[in-house]
Structure 1
């Protein structure tokens, strides 16, 4: 099986054409208003939510504050799908839509933290729709017997990765996340150029990393504090040696960015897909032909 990553492009106001999620989480900050302790505002410039740390908070722009007057809480609901955090989800009743015009070639998309019955991707070249696919998010991987088929309940996949669509510069990409009758959610959307890095060598390792902690109350009783989990993925890639520089350049391009990774081929994914970042990468070179490159990735919560 082949290992792929999606080098993410930045989604800014220049790329995000529209969304049906209104940016109205809280009142927009107003320089003429005095805010009480604990009051929350948003900025439509930074697209973030801020909480007042003092009473009588007037005239202090939260986007340039040093942290003494305003606490930066998170991205607004509309922009949470692009804030490099999976756990900070965008929500809307029934359906979420985004229309994006990429400023660079974009032939792949990955959606994480989904609550949806289906996901639809459309690509428009002007008024002409040149790509239209709807993906049902029912996950049959949990069906292991006749009993689970009939009585196991419906399980929905939490992520979707696809590539190969014609998302060239100037095309409009419409994303529809549908959860009719429920609340649609998406944690993070990665859009960008797909790169095949190499062939996965046998025996990759996937480590479950718990971030939960054990604490104690005033009487010494144990308290379990649930903080979620992530995964650490260690694998080795077989890459033609003449592509060594290309591989290192791609890894450098995605350094410090929330990147989608996944495998393609006839074999099952075995959990080798997710949203994360490259933690370590080395390149021992075999000048004779193919080289084996160790790669470590850590997923984002």
Structure 2
């Protein structure tokens, strides 16, 4: 069981191949449905026309502007896996965090293809370079599935073995027909326990199912996020470290990794609660309940 403490990505530390194509707001009259950006935020007009500035219009009564979220370039750093940064053919980013980072995690990737991560230090040059295919062949179990099973792709991927350089630039390139990424996290990874059998995975759905008085059911399909109950075990002597690390991550996003082998166990989210039981003098087990963001 590993936790990545996330290092925030500053605007000044990022370069991206994704164009800033959204129109910046300027004073004037804006009509219903028009979208304008203010900084990294994207707004849309909610009334027939308005001259309000978007941030002021969003808190007006009634509101004249609505906040849609972040601009396309910044969605992969907005702290949520619900919206994706998208770009034709590829997404390439370079981040210079100015602090030690040894982990890079991607959530809700799209488009298939492959992803390359490399780290370049100003003194030592390229100190890490790894490319991973996003095609998942785990559904191919025999000749029939080899021939007829649709292609599947990996949606979540973690690189947890970057060397700890403090001044390096982290580069990532997602190559795909229609490249997409909902969240890219960089940070410092720590192993806090061993993931046990009995760990359970599921989803929290935001869709709606309605059944009328005649029994007809309609669905409104929306996004979902992961929900995982991690069953873990670790040395009893390390319980204080376990509690301290998790408490430091309270009420904020982190990446929780039960195993890098399974997409469902790579979760960008926040823990709801945790507990560790003093099971014995050598080892103690516990539970961490995590909900995706």
Which residue is equivalent to 2:103? 108
Deviations 1:41-90 (A, max 9, x none): 0012xx01011234553353527952533211111000000112212001
Question: Out of 120, 127, 132, which is 1:124 matched to?
Answer: 120
1:238-271 deviation digits (Å, cap 9, x = unpaired): 1223322222222123223332222348xx6494
* In structure 1, distance between residues paired with 2:200 and 2:133: 30
The residue matched to 1:187 in structure 2 has which SS? strand
Mapped partners of 1:64, 1:124: distance in 2? 44
Partner of residue 251, structure 2: 256
SS of 2:265's equivalent in the other structure is coil
Aligned to 1:34: 29
CA gap 1:285/1:204 in 2 versus in 1, 3 angstroms = same
Taking structure 2 as the reference length, the TM-score comes to: 0.88
Answer yes or no: is the 8 Å Cα contact 1:101–1:169 preserved in 2. Answer: no
CA contact (8 A) 2:156 2:263 kept: no
Q: Deviations over 1:195-248 (max 9, x none)?
A: 111012332222344433222579874211212433322233212233222222
1:277 is matched with 270
Aligned CA-pair RMSD? 2.5
Quote the Cα distance in structure 2 between the aligned partners of 1:217 and 1:251. Answer: 45
In the alignment of these two chains, the number of paired residues is 289
Partners of 1:97 and 1:34 in 2: CA distance:
36
- After TM superposition, the structure 1 = structure 2 runs for residues 26-105 of structure 1, keeping only pairs within 5 Å, are 27-30=23-26, 32-44=27-39, 47-58=40-51, 60-62=53-55, 65-67=58-60, 68-105=63-100
**Does the residue aligned with 1:62 lie in a helix, a strand or coil?**
helix
Alpha-carbon spacing, 1:217–1:29, altered in 2? closer, same or farther (3 Å): farther
Where in structure 2 are there 5+ consecutive unaligned residues? none
Note if contact 2:253-2:270 (Cα within 8 Å) is conserved in structure 1.
yes
Check 1:270–1:40 CA distance in 2 against 1; reply closer, same or farther (3 A cut): closer
Give secondary structure in 2 for the equivalent of 1:215: strand
Residue aligned with 1:141, SS: coil
Q: Distance in 2 between matches of 1:224 and 1:56?
A: 33
**Aligned-pair distance for 1:295?**
1.1
Following the alignment from structure 1 to structure 2, what is the Cα–Cα distance between the partners of residues 185 and 155? Answer: 15
Residue of structure 2 in register with 1:178 after alignment = 175
- Alpha-carbon deviation of 1:39? 1.9
Quick one: distance in 1 between partners of 2:149 and 2:280?
Answer: 52
How far did residue 293 of structure 1 move?
2.1
TM-score w.r.t. the length of structure 1 is: 0.86
Residues 276, 41 of structure 1: alpha-carbon distance in 2 compared, 3 angstrom cutoff: same
What stretches of structure 1 move > 4 A for 4+ residues in a row?
Answer: 216-220
| Alpha carbons 2:57, 2:64 under 8 Å: kept | no
State which of 237, 240, 247 in structure 1 corresponds to 2:235: 240
CA contact (8 A) 1:7 1:253 kept: no
